[in-house]
């Protein structure tokens, strides 16, 4: 785990197997619209794609990775941002909880904890998203690394490699491939790093038993599909923007 952490113009829809690029997938019920001022809902919808991320309506339940379950971290453990428009994202940082999945969720929801990661991966491969990729999560213990990275926690302990299951490696690699495709991050050990490699940290996770060769091979294997999904989402977003532009000129 760690402390203080670009991307995604939020919003979007899940669409079959298609992934998502710079947009969020799956919008839960209760729409919470933030900072909208006097804009009517209808108007807001049309101008949404031109807004900077910080002004965008954020909806409870929006996620960035297909299949993740949204469960929010305490607002005290992350900082509102507009990545990748304000900070570029070029790192994925791998953590190990030193505890269970539920422990991670619990402490990340605790405003006194001072730290939280974007994602938590469970032993059975289940993925929770707790902070939007737009925002800076406090997970690396290094401000500039928090600003440039997405943090992924893994259930388990650094000295218990048996806990690093195949299902967990695969689900995490799928997530990292998705992130790398969406931000065009190279799949190598310079850009996919352990918390231990963050400058100035005293954390040792994910520890010597984390199988980097195996992990990177799984990320590379998942990359072509992730790239296709990212391209499809980009195309959908461009089409939506073009349509919004047409709609505006029709009204003019
Ligand atoms: Zn860590």
* End-to-end CA, the chain: 52
Bigger pLDDT: 154 vs 26: 154
Give the range of the structural domain holding residue 77, as residue numbers without chain letter: 67-251
Cα-to-chain-centroid distance, residue 161: 25
Find the mean pLDDT for residues 192-204: 97
User: Does residue 52 lie in a domain region?
Assistant: no
Q: What is the pLDDT of residue 237?
A: 79
As a whole number of angstroms, the distance between CA 51 and CA 148 comes to 21
User: Does residue 15 lie in a domain region?
Assistant: no
204-219 pLDDT, tens per residue? 999 999 999 999 999 9
Q: What is the pLDDT of residue 245?
A: 83
Mark the residues whose beta carbon lies below 5 A from ion ligand 1. Answer: 1-2, 95, 195, 203, 205
Ligand 1 centroid, distance to 225 Cα (angstroms) = 28
User: Does residue 233 lie in a domain region?
Assistant: yes
Ligand 1 centroid, distance to 40 Cα (angstroms) = 42
Cα four-point dihedral sign 201, 203, 205, 208: positive
User: Does residue 193 lie in a domain region?
Assistant: yes
User: Does residue 99 lie in a domain region?
Assistant: yes
User: Does residue 50 lie in a domain region?
Assistant: no
Q: For 149, phi and psi rounded to 5 degrees?
A: -130, 165
Look at the chain and report how many structural domains it folds into.
Answer: 1
Ligand 1 centroid, distance to 85 Cα (angstroms) = 26
108-138 pLDDT, tens per residue? 999 999 999 999 999 999 999 999 999 999 9
User: Does residue 160 lie in a domain region?
Assistant: yes
216-234 pLDDT, tens per residue? 999 999 999 999 998 988 8
Q: What is the pLDDT of residue 99?
A: 97
Ligand 1 centroid, distance to 96 Cα (angstroms) = 6
Give percent of the chain above pLDDT 90.
65
As a whole number of angstroms, the distance between CA 165 and CA 211 comes to 11
- The whole-model pTM stands at 0.79
User: Does residue 86 lie in a domain region?
Assistant: yes
Count other Cβ atoms within 10 Å, centred on residue 200: 9
Is residue 51 very low, low, confident or very high in pLDDT (cuts 50, 70, 90)?
A: low
Find the mean pLDDT for residues 135-151: 97
As a whole number of angstroms, the distance between CA 97 and CA 1 comes to 6
CATH of residue 122's domain is 3.40.80.10
Is residue 19 very low, low, confident or very high in pLDDT (cuts 50, 70, 90)?
A: very low
Cα four-point dihedral sign 21, 119, 68, 56: negative
Structural contact between residues 96 and 208, judged by C-beta atoms closer than 8 angstroms:
no
């Amino acid at each position: 785990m760690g402390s203080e952490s670009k991307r995604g113009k939020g919003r979007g829809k899940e669409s079959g197997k298609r992934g998502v690029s710079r947009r969020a997938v799956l919008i839960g019920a209760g729409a919470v619209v933030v900072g909208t001022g006097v804009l009517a809902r209808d108007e807001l919808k049309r101008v949404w794609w031109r807004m900077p991320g910080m002004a965008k309506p954020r909806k409870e339940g929006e996620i960035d990775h297909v299949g993740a379950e949204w469960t929010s971290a305490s607002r005290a453990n992350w900082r509102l941002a507009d990545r990748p428009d304000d900070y570029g994202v070029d790192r994925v940082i791998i953590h190990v909880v030193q505890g269970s999945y539920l422990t991670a969720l619990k402490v990340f929801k605790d405003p006194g904890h001072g730290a939280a990661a974007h994602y938590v991966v469970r032993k059975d491969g289940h993925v929770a998203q707790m902070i939007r990729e737009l925002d800076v999560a406090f997970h690396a213990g290094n401000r500039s690394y928090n600003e440039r990275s997405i943090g992924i926690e893994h259930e388990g302990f650094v000295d218990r490699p048996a806990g690093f299951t195949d299902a967990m490696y695969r689900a995490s690699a799928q997530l990292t491939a998705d992130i790398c495709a969406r931000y065009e991050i190279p799949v190598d050990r310079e850009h996919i790093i352990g918390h231990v490699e963050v400058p100035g940290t005293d954390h040792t996770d994910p520890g010597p038993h984390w199988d980097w060769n195996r992990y990177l091979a799984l990320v590379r294997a998942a990359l072509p599909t992730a790239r296709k999904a990212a391209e499809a989402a980009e195309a959908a977003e461009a089409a939506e923007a073009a349509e919004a532009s047409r709609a505006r000129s029709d009204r003019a």
